[in-house]
Amino acid sequence: MLVRPEMLVRFVPALALLAAGCNPPVVYDPRNPVPPNINDRSEPKLELRVYYDGTRFDSVVKPDGVFYFNPGRCIHVPGRFRVVAAASDLDGGIGYLNVSSPDILPIHHGFVADPVPEFATQADDPTAPAGPTHPNPGMSPGSHTVEVTYYTGGNPPGHPRGAASLEVTYDLGSVPVARLATRAQNTSVSASTSSIDAYFVRPADAAHKPGSTCTPPP
């Protein structure tokens, strides 16, 4: 019998399932814990999303091979908007992730970390875990930085995650322009951090709809 190429495309997946005992393949969840790796030489992958209307967002991604990325980007947003930072590092795991703005404070109780960290509080100074603490995720008193800690190497050490995200809700209020930033840290001693800075938002109005581009500050 002549077997045409399109028949192979149809039959190979079925044969693979038969070889596996008809069990569906296991899908790996990158949010699972991964072993720390101090010898990891790759910086974390990092993306910043600004949701300006429900599920619609503008996104910037840090290029591979660089630790710091300044996109010089600006969009108009409504008074209340969401920011999501997403980081991944399958070689050494994400131990820490934050979202910050020097110009506006986030809305309290508007912090969502995925996955949920294993411990409910994090130290203001990770090198001195016996000192003051704040919620995990959360921010220390007087800070403009929302952070989540998955792994410290200390007490409690926790477990780094292959991928993690942190969502923060802001109210722009009367602020004419606000700068947003994010930073992720893995467990490496040589390529431990990645950051995105200088992403700006301005208020939307009748002439500038949410999601439209604007001019970054000089």
87, 199, 200, 212, 213 from 102: Cα distances, Å: 21, 12, 11, 23, 21
What digits encode the pLDDT tens for the residues 104-160?
999 988 799 999 999 999 987 666 656 788 999 999 989 999 999 999 887 778 999
Nearest Cα to 139, choosing from 181, 109, 173? 109
Every domain of the chain and the residues it spans = 45-203
194 vs 153, residue with greater confidence: 194
pLDDT at 26: 57
Q: Which CATH number fits domain 45-203: 1.10.10, 2.60.40, 3.40.50, 2.30.30?
A: 2.60.40
Residue type, 136: N
What digits encode the pLDDT tens for the residues 146-162?
999 999 887 778 999 99
pLDDT at 7: 33
Residue 170 has pLDDT above 70, yes or no: yes
The pTM assigned to this predicted structure is: 0.85
pLDDT at 24: 53
10, 79, 90, 159 from 74: Cα distances, Å: 47, 15, 31, 35
What digits encode the pLDDT tens for the residues 1-33?
433 333 333 333 343 333 444 455 556 798 999
What digits encode the pLDDT tens for the residues 51-97?
999 899 999 999 999 999 999 999 999 999 999 999 999 999 999 99
pLDDT at 6: 34
pLDDT at 155: 72
Residues 6 or more apart in contact with residue 95 via CB below 8 angstroms: 36, 149, 150, 151, 152, 153, 158, 160, 185, 186, 187
pLDDT at 184: 97
